[in-house]
Amino acid sequence: MKVLVTGGGGFLGKAIVKLLLKQGDDVCSFSRNIYPQLTALGVEQTVGDLTDISAVIKAVDACDLVYHVAAKAGVWGSYDEFYRPNVIGTKNIIQACRKCAITRLVYTSSPSVVFDGSDMEGIDESVPYPDHYLSWYPQTKAEAEQLVLAANDATLATVVLRPHLIWGPEDNHLVPRILEQGRAGALRRIGKNPCLVDTVYVDNAAEAHILAAKKLSVNGAVAGKAYFVSNDEPLPLWDMVNRILATDGLPAVEKMISPRLAYAIGGLLENIYRLFKLSGEPRMTRFVAKELSTAHWFDLSAAKADFGYQPQVSIEEGLSRLQGWLRQGD
């Protein structure tokens, strides 16, 4: 079977690629760059932009299944920076699937699409989208997710996965950010509440995508649905942060600020960055302040029942693997 993974050179995309190769699939990747590690794996790579419909069609053509993983992530930037790759890019993927008669599309979303700034404790997929977002990333991902779900019909089966806080060896986003700020002494606990938070080890997130695709078919049980994906081991947020810091020998976060102050600082910094058109991103935003002071853990009953998802790598084992990878880089 020939399979396309958009963003195959990214953190999650590469983990999905490796599992597909392991099961004997012919794998292609569509990204903006060529990745030497994919070349070494024998992966066919097409270079292009998701907003270029002709390039997307070229990549999708002759494939049997598409995993749309690529996206613009982050908490800061203009609406257009997020809208073009996340929404227009997803529209193009759907259009290309229809033009090339692809029958299965697996889309990678995020639990942030339903985050309204309050605690998410044991919630399932029935939770509605909020009326307002504090960041362009969840807003555009929600727009894209709804496009994918609406595209499910008698010719194209679609499914949406919402992995939460993916981490592990080769992470180029979450873990490096935590370690960098930990080394700089810039991390602060936000509030005293031990808010429980789900995360997901990268191999578990990738496996969920493979399992969902195997069950995906036109008019099948998973078609047209969204699913939360995590390690199913919610921990107090700062306990998890401190355990990641410990893998690199860094001290635990002790200093604290109040959620109200963090939110106010975030709003102030956002205004300063907009007013002076500063590069980079603020150290705090309103979205991040809310994310770091609320609970985020999910009911995985649907994923377990519908496509047999069970996390295979525990947080403890994942941290051990992360530590081993970090030591290799020393």
Indicate the residue type of 279.
Answer: S
* CB-based contact 202:19 (threshold 8 Å): no
Tokens of 102: 């692809």
> Who contacts 107 (Cβ-Cβ below 8 Å, separation ≥6)?
68, 90, 144, 145, 148, 158, 159, 160, 161
The reply to whether 133 belongs to the active site is no
Instruction: Identify the H or E element spanning 4.
Output: strand 2-6
Cα distance between residue 104 and residue 16, in whole Å: 16
* CB-based contact 271:59 (threshold 8 Å): no
Options 35, 83, 107, 137, the catalytic residue: 137
* CB-based contact 44:60 (threshold 8 Å): no
Tokens of 203: 């191999």
Cα distance between residue 263 and residue 265, in whole Å: 5
CA triple 188-322-41, angle to 5 deg? 130
Alpha-helical (H) ranges within the chain are 11-22, 36-41, 53-60, 79-83, 89-99, 136-151, 174-183, 202-215, 237-246, 259-276, 286-291, 301-307, 315-328
Angle (deg, nearest 10), helices 53-60 and 89-99: 50
Nearest to 94 by CA among 160, 31, 147: 147
Q: Active-site positions?
A: 137
